[in-house]
Structure 1
Amino acid sequence: MSEIEALVAARYGLAGRASFLTSERDLTVRVDASGGESFVLKIANAAEDPAVSEFQNRALEHLERIAPDVPASRLVPTLDGASEFLAEKHGQPHFTRLLTWLPGRPLFGTPQTAPQMRALGTALGQLAKALSNFRHPAADHEIVWDLRRVPQLIPLTAHVGDDALRERVEAAFLRFRDEILPLAPGFRTQVVHNDFNPFNLLVAPDDSDRVTGILDFGDLVSTSAIYDLAIACAYQVAEDGPPLAFVAELLAGYHAVHPVPEREVDQLFDLIAARHAMTITIGEWRASRYPDNAAYILRNHARARAAMTRCAALPRAEAQSILRRACGYA
């Protein structure tokens, strides 16, 4: 930690205490400065394409200019005014940046409510709308979590240990490949967050219906906007009662800010299933490769499995009707 603290002091003129944060790819460190402020230092893996990290930084700067009310972190400039720099370790360069610390507590573990879902939908809609006119040469990079890559994941379903679950996962993937992918050229395409999950969202400590932070732009990519919405919705399938009650509220909040065409709404239910299938497949595949980090990798697995089971019991036509009504299309 002393090495990181020295790096922050040299580059940013900040004296403080550093502590590790959980992260899947980057080295992510919280820095509590002696002046009372907190920051997040992100040091990319040397294998990460610097152009992709630069793309993420330019997106954050775009948001700061275009949509300052979107609660995303801000880049902190170095002493010489740079937004990022390459830190060398063992002769390898690592893309490095310092971000402001966002207030709040994780959305994960808070009770779901209709107002909370509206707030999430509004926040995602505002973010997507702000990013809709953002362009960057690295925006179309390949990332495994992009729903466009579903056909490439089909062979990985062999890693899903439970036979019944594997069949459900395979069916969701095949439906995407055979029925949704041919329609994709007609979908809106833009840069999206691509990981609007409860671990990446902060809410006010005294009001869990108020969003205070959107974290982790590490899966940022240019893809179909409806895929981004499906990801957010996949995490909000209700554990009890009507499965899509909270999803419909989130969708309504999003649609009011960043309208979703009817043809895309009609694919949303199957896209939610495809995202659940991705979470399960990629999770089990990666956990088998990195067993020491399995707990972190599989943190969304049980919820995805339960949500997929609940949605499977809902007729597609009924689900489509619920989601159409949420947008006023019924």
Structure 2
Amino acid sequence: MSSIDFKGRVAIVTGAGGGLGRQHALALAARGAKVLVNDLGGARDGSGGSVSAAQAVVDEILAAGGEAIANGASVTDFEAVQAMVAQAVATWGRVDILVNNAGILRDKSFAKMDLADFRLVMDVHLMGAVHCTKAVWALMNEQKYGRIVMTTSSSGLYGNFGQSNYGAAKLALVGLMQTLSIEGAKNDIRVNCLAPTAATRMTEDLMPEAVLEALKPEAVVPAMLVLAGQEAPNRTILCAGAGSFEAAHITLTNGAWIGLGGDAPERLADRLAEVTDRSGEIVPQSGAAQGSNEVGKAMANAGRH
């Protein structure tokens, strides 16, 4: 079993002033990475800001003999994010790893949710990750190496009451990962998603003590280290929590050819159980695979209606 180490690697972790991001930063540094610790230092709803949270984590890393610098950029500000990447490059000459972890919560049922709260959560989670990824993308292509970890969530993969904004943003990150993992492959840029179940400042009010203990953020970190490591997979959704790890997939059933006749809607309704039957489902390797599957069925049924 070869050890996972990050000697000579430079990592940026966003939202790393506390909770999961702090654990990510400490773990990467402990295994030899030089870490830029980014945190806006705001409240969990995204208000306010101070670089002191990031600096406190940097101080921890330095005290343990590691190398780290602090950054207080908001991931919603692309210019500030570009300056953050420039800061890492000016200090250490490269960026190998980006862990997109920054996030906020504005939970409410959709009926009661203000659109500004929907937009802000999308902006921080989705556009924040887009900004950070865009800011390192050319650099990683040039150096022919990169490891990018998007933080998705079970709320996006499977839904959660009161989190329509958060869930939409988190599943959007999976869509972003699907395409970037294809585009980055030729230059050894591997892009993956981490779906953590962890008790952090964002969830501490919601769970009993024993559950909080099992769901320590530290339990998620091994999955991040694997996804950020040299031997990382590409295009994987790793779920992690309380010491367990799983993979999530977006699958495609075998389906059925229904045809284009005027009664196609009725025939589809009649055969919906067959269309949704999951036996023999596949994980397509690109969006084009869905089209190929459909056209293949159509060709096989040419002449029928």
With the length of structure 2 as denominator, give the TM-score of the two structures: 0.29
With the length of structure 1 as denominator, give the TM-score of the two structures: 0.27
Q: Which structure is richer in relative contact order (CA contacts within 8 A, separation 6 or more)?
A: 1
Mark the structure with the bigger radius of gyration.
2
The structure with more helix, counted as a fraction of residues? 1
